[in-house]
Amino acid sequence: MRPSGRQPDQMRPVTIETGFAHHAEGSALIRVGGTEVLCTASVENRVPAFLRGKGSGWVTAEYGMLPRATHSRGLREAAKGKQSGRTQEIQRLIGRSLRSVVDLPALGEISITLDCDVLNADGGTRCAAITGAWVALRLALGKLVAAHVLRQLPLRGQVAAVSCGLTEAGPVLDLDYAEDSAAAADTNFVLTADRRIVEIQATAEDAPFMEDSFTAMFGLARQGVSVLFDAQTAAVNAAEGH
């Protein structure tokens, strides 16, 4: 039995609320169970130095966690004076994941920064961040099309992420904090709606694991992301009044 009483292949409830951030070109407050991440997309008419004059756009991400998003208060990274290795690893993952579905040349010399800030944490924050960031990005791109800055959406697909783990209950989908901190292995799957792989990060926490465990987790992830793709689509449609 899982601590939450969920079935092995059962996601936590997912909601995506758009427009929470008043000023951002796109924003999504995603809730996956007790995890809440505010994702904003900020559009700027410039690109990093390495892209200047090449006619291509850029998508990047930053990740943060409010000090008391967690059970006990964590140090504020701005006060410590640096981002932890974990933070950098996560924001690099979010950036790569989103770039994999954007047609950067079609975007033109525009940068979009995806800020993903965790307001409440209960496991799976990086996956929620990727899933929410896609909605924020999609809405920002929609505005650029509506404003005739772009002729069409420079998007090649839809991306979402979910974690799976090996627990005492076997392979399970969408770990919460209680499961995550006790799991023997933890795997994050970043997948597209057309069933392709964007990124897989499988990590043995305590002891190396067998390939069939990996395969079982992959199968659960396929199920899980389909729920997320639906939630993303519904949120975008609601926001754009379709």
Q: Which residue number, 146 or 210, has a Cβ lying nearer to its own copies?
A: 210
Looking at the Cβ atoms of 105 and 230, the one nearer to its own copies is 105
Say if residue 233 is exposed, middle or buried (CB neighbours under 10 Å; 0-12, 13-18, 19+).
middle
Whether residue 86 is annotated as binding a ligand: the answer is: yes
Residue 60 counted as an annotated binding residue:
no
Q: How far is the CB of 107 from its own copies (least distance, A)?
A: 15
Minimal distance, residue 50 CB to its own copies, in Å: 13
Q: Which pairing describes strands 170-173 and 185-192: parallel, antiparallel, or unpaired?
A: unpaired
The closest alpha carbon to 150, from 121, 120, 110, belongs to 110
Q: Is 6 annotated as a binding residue?
A: no
Closest distance of CB 88 from its own copies, Å: 4
**Cβ neighbourhood burial of 20 (10 Å; 0-12, 13-18, 19+):** middle
Q: Which is nearer to its own copies, 38 or 130 (CB)?
A: 38
User: Does 126 count as an annotated binding residue?
Assistant: yes
The candidate with the shortest Cα–Cα distance to 39, out of 82, 105, 94, 111, is 94
Q: Please, what is the minimum distance in Å from the beta carbon of residue 83 to its own copies? A: 5
DSSP code of residue 4: T
Annotated binding site for phosphate: 86, 124-126
Annotated binding site: 86, 124-126
